[in-house]
A and B are shown apart, each in its own frame.
Chain A
């Protein structure tokens, strides 16, 4: 095989970076040294060839998900389908909406199968699969902007919480959004579930037909986009406070629905500097914590 994934420890010596094609993973495990080493080796093994598995079924992964039947074969592909299936009856969604979270979950699973770990995460470009042993906790920070005027909000997930997946979707990402949210961050029981739900909720933050929102056909930007000719958001101009509130409310209604259905644990919806939190998760606000990071 000529194409090998890039596998490297980051400069802190603790985190492992895995990259292949469009997949970038950063992972870290906490535990006994030999266990961490075994987990990293397992992650590297599982990651090698994973993209080829997915690509073998790419045409199927790019089609609208069937709300009942799963035609896919691969374990990651089937996980992607399972994550989007609950939404497929009501709207257009393809398994690709859950690819990042599903890959993160798969690699975390390989690590946990190889060795006992106190704590671990696999971060796939913002979609994160978590493992928390007893007494362990994990702090997630959401930044509205990364400079001295930025406000950071933190959410702590501890081992007693059901959430083990975190995902963010919005119009700034690599993938396209049908909505106008800057970012929707979702906590769910699994990373794949969080990924799919974040996509759906970000799509629901919208102002259809608003003149300040510039949209393009997805396939005019990426000819093989799974979204085909659907209009995706390119630019969002100035919005009034009432318009921002209305768009966020639309997303919040959607988020509450899936919270009630048990598919998500919490969501933070962000648009033009405003944030709405859905769910019971405690959120703390900090100012300027990352100032140093921002000006570096």
Chain B
């Protein structure tokens, strides 16, 4: 069973009545304590848990933090040091900072004594702990539908957790989390932000409401649900681009085509693509602001209707046809950028468009637009910065690690997944959460998120940057250990499944 299917199983997991096994407590035989573990619970060690009646290994995030703090590695009491110095890249043997890399999402860490020495303190007792206070998620929602104005506050359970940021091609963008919402506001705001970030990062669905906008259910790798309507596809291009792509296919089958788009509505007869095909003028009059020929801005207000506008009747964006150019019997196709909305009109004697059954050839072109639209998805990138002490766990000279990452000598991964490291100071990285093993994220009540991070580099480079060379542990020594669990990394389980 792949990790992703394990994760998908969690919807059922929370409703424990689904299978007989899921209602049964199981006896853990990992150690002589022999805990009875209820479904959904962990044993006394917090290392093993009952997942759907099966015993799974779940390294507690507190151990994760401990290993992260020390560079994602625990080192042997008696090092043998027969590592050949090559970069570890075999998928089946990549060691992640998630410890066992397992599937239990709702672990609540225990308070823990941080055993690092800081400012002459030998030990630190904490009620709460954190790794990434400076973290958040960037959410890309493939939809033209209007989700809300730029800069509008995004809320989860009524609390501000982020904002609408600048949109991308065919997608609306949200920026959620960050230290301001996590720790700068009320306790409740911080807690709910933390919950929302963790759920989104663990590929769970989260309902978000946008001030002055829509309610959207976001789940990484799944289509967005905007105002209770599941989005099917993202637009193939803007209205103008759609004209350019399909002009040849419409040529000779219809006199005029309007591709309705909240951004740029395209008009075939006026568009450069139409001119090149010698398509005649039709006397059409568009509302909105003309940009260049055949391209119109602001034909309507943004909304959840045709092509991300607020209109439900496409004729609302047309003025009367010019009698000098138009003639009765002129045919017009109006279609949205995703092909989800389409109507066919014929001008009557008074040059008024009358909706008519669409000819099969045009219906095909509408279907072609739909076919060229990619499935609408929500994608969630987790973004965080690795602070000083984390880097100090890797090397005696933390800035050298930063430089080594910049020089691409050191590969940074998060739960084994590739990351993008932002240029500039520090180690600020982004990772696609769907590429990470299930349940990779935890939280601490600070509130802050707990996420895995690994640094991989050549042994010689590691030595050069002041690494803890005496404690390098050969990969082979992990093989028989209960600490590791192979993850089918190369197979990218469930990527956008």
Q: Is B445 an interface residue (CB 8 A)?
A: yes
Q: Which residue of A lies closest to B385 (CB)?
A: A295
Q: Which residue of B lies closest to A294 (CB)?
A: B130
Contact B31 A123 (CB under 8 A): no
Q: Which residues of B contact A7 (CB under 8 A)?
A: 77
Provide the main secondary structure of the chain A interface: mixed
Q: Which residues of B contact A270 (CB under 8 A)?
A: 127
Contact B77 A44 (CB under 8 A): yes
Contact B385 A222 (CB under 8 A): no
Q: Contacts A7-B77, A21-B45: A172 and B127 contacting too (C-beta < 8 A)? A: yes
Q: Is B113 an interface residue (CB 8 A)?
A: yes
Q: Is A139 an interface residue (CB 8 A)?
A: yes
Contact B38 A223 (CB under 8 A): yes
Contact A128 B69 (CB under 8 A): no
Number of chain A residues whose Cβ lies closer than 8 Å to a Cβ of chain B = 67
Q: Which residue of B lies closest to A181 (CB)?
A: B127
CB proximity to A under 8 Å, residues B477-496: 481, 483
Give complex CA distance A141, B183 in Å: 22
Q: Which residue of A lies closest to B112 (CB)?
A: A126
Q: Which residues of B contact A147 (CB under 8 A)?
A: 130, 133, 183, 446, 448
Q: Is A160 an interface residue (CB 8 A)?
A: no
Report A267 CB to chain B, min CB distance, Å: 12
Report B114 CB to chain A, min CB distance, Å: 7
Selected from A20, A26, A143, the residue in CB contact (under 8 A) with B126 is A143
Provide the main secondary structure of the chain B interface: loop
CB proximity to B under 8 Å, residues A9-36: 9-13, 15-17, 20-22, 24, 26, 28
Contact B113 A123 (CB under 8 A): yes
Q: Which residue of A lies closest to B483 (CB)?
A: A6
Q: Is B320 an interface residue (CB 8 A)?
A: no
Give complex CA distance A58, B71 in Å: 37
Give complex CA distance A22, B128 in Å: 20
Give complex CA distance A290, B388 in Å: 11
- The digit string for A108-146, where 1 denotes a CB below 8 A from any CB of B, is 000000000000010101101000000000111111111
Q: Which residue of B lies closest to A149 (CB)?
A: B183
Report A110 CB to chain B, min CB distance, Å: 16
Report A141 CB to chain B, min CB distance, Å: 4
Contact A139 B122 (CB under 8 A): yes
Contact A222 B63 (CB under 8 A): no
Spell out B's residues near A (CB within 8 Å).
25, 30-38, 41, 43-47, 63, 66, 69-71, 73-77, 108, 110-116, 118-134, 183, 385-391, 393-394, 444-446, 448, 468, 470-471, 473, 481, 483
Please list 6 pairs of residues, one from A and one from B, whose beta carbons are closer than 8 Å in the complex, sorted by A's number.
A40-B77, A51-B33, A126-B111, A145-B128, A147-B183, A173-B110
Spell out A's residues near B (CB within 8 Å).
3, 6-13, 15-17, 20-22, 24, 26, 28, 40, 44, 51-52, 55-56, 58, 121, 123, 125-126, 128, 138-149, 152, 154, 166, 168, 170, 172-174, 182-183, 185, 220-224, 270, 286, 289-290, 292-296
